[in-house]
Amino acid sequence: MAAERYVDHDVLKAFAQNKVNVPKEDAKERRRQVNHLRERLEGYIKDHPDFDLVKLRASGSTAKHTAIRRRKSEGSDADVAAYLRTTSTDIDVSTMLTWLRERCIEVYGKTKVADDFVISNHAVGITMRGSGLKIDVVPVLYTGEPDDKGYLVTRDGTQVLTSVTQHLQFMKKRRDTAGDGYRELIRLLKAWIRESKNADPDLRCKSFLIELLVAHLWDNGWNGEKLQVNDYPRAIEQVLAYITRTGLKTPIVFTDYYKATEVAASTRPIQIWDPVNPENNIVGIYEEADRQRLVSHAKSALDILGEAAYAHSKGAALDCWRELFGPAFPGA
């Protein structure tokens, strides 16, 4: 494919800074709200001895610096892992989410309504009506293992091994080698997925999936070439080409914290294994139709980049990129 003539790395970098990256003031507000929750939650949990609060850890995209700017209608997100330890063998850990929701309600007292606290499959979501911020508090059953290992407890009581510390180290190891462009590339790809979901609400592609695809390509390259994290148009093309040509049919396994032989055999349509848990396929619930839909979106985006590369004018090239990132591109 010919080199980009009108939309180059600098154009995409400026777009990321102006329209994709989380502004400093928004990041500051997220930290303030999360700190408020962390400071007060400990006291309320002490008064309810079913579970002991061992520690709170910032987690997710915000902690990894891969979160993207949210539109007003979407609100903003921050994730906090609440490491809890049972105080009795008689306590049913499947109640952790309901119990944690009650504690979060107590933290905010009469300043919020019950509908602002929503239980999802693995977290208690708290919506701040004033700022639009949404904090997801994730209960993690702590058993004393090192590296913040613990068991994320889902709504039905399923326990999934996780480690906030190891997930952050996994990201940091690659970012330290690749440079700042590594995380900004992830943010740009997340912005593309958001736009794709606006056009197709049935599209499934979680944030963590994007992070692990980029990690895999950074570790292994694609088609004999390293992932070009300092050339965003080329890097985006590489990721889209990988999705399109492999069809996401090849299992992705990382060996930072376990051996590849520890991953169990699976027949799921997409297999991308959690870097800290060889038993957790992070897209294990995706069906064949979900795989095909994501691959189709990647192929369409790759075709659009081909048109942009050969566009006869800057305006035509920008129109192509707007199909990927929306009408705000280039967002100067």
User: If pLDDT is split at 50, 70 and 90, which confidence band does 121 have?
Assistant: confident
pTM: 0.92
Which residues in 44-71 are b (16+ Cβ under 10 Å) and which e? ebeeeebbebbebbbbbbbbbbbbbbbe
Q: Examine residue 144 and state whether it is found in any structural domain, yes or no.
A: yes
312 in the same domain as 175: yes
310 in the same domain as 283: yes
Average pLDDT of the chain to the nearest whole number: 90
Is 70 exceeded by the pLDDT of residue 1?
no
Q: Examine residue 2 and state whether it is found in any structural domain, yes or no.
A: no
140 in the same domain as 199: no
The structure tokens listed for 173 are 């190891």
Instruction: Taking residues 162-178, report their average pLDDT.
Output: 97
The pLDDT value given to residue 132: 74
Report d(CA 228, CA 232) in Å as an integer: 7
Least confident of 86-90, 205-209, 290-294: 86-90
Q: Examine residue 56 and state whether it is found in any structural domain, yes or no.
A: yes
Is 70 exceeded by the pLDDT of residue 75?
no
Is 60 exceeded by the pLDDT of residue 262?
yes
pLDDT tens digits, 101-119: 988 888 887 778 888 999 9
Q: Among residues 126, 148, 163, which one ends one of the domains? A: 163
Q: Among residues 140, 163, 186, which one ends one of the domains? A: 163
318 in the same domain as 255: yes
Q: Which of 129, 136, 200, 138 is nearest to 163 (CA)?
A: 138
Instruction: Taking residues 166-195, report their average pLDDT.
Output: 97
Could you give the number of structural domains in the chain? 2
Domain of residue 102: give its range: 23-163
Residues in the chain: 332
Instruction: Taking residues 180-187, report their average pLDDT.
Output: 97
217 in the same domain as 108: no
172 in the same domain as 155: no
Contacts of 251 (CB under 8 A, 6+ apart): 263, 266, 271, 272, 273
The pLDDT value given to residue 78: 83
The pLDDT value given to residue 73: 53
Is 50 exceeded by the pLDDT of residue 314?
yes
pLDDT tens digits, 32-72: 888 888 888 877 777 777 788 888 888 889 889 999 987 65
pLDDT tens digits, 190-246: 999 999 999 999 999 999 999 999 999 999 999 999 999 999 999 999 999 999 999
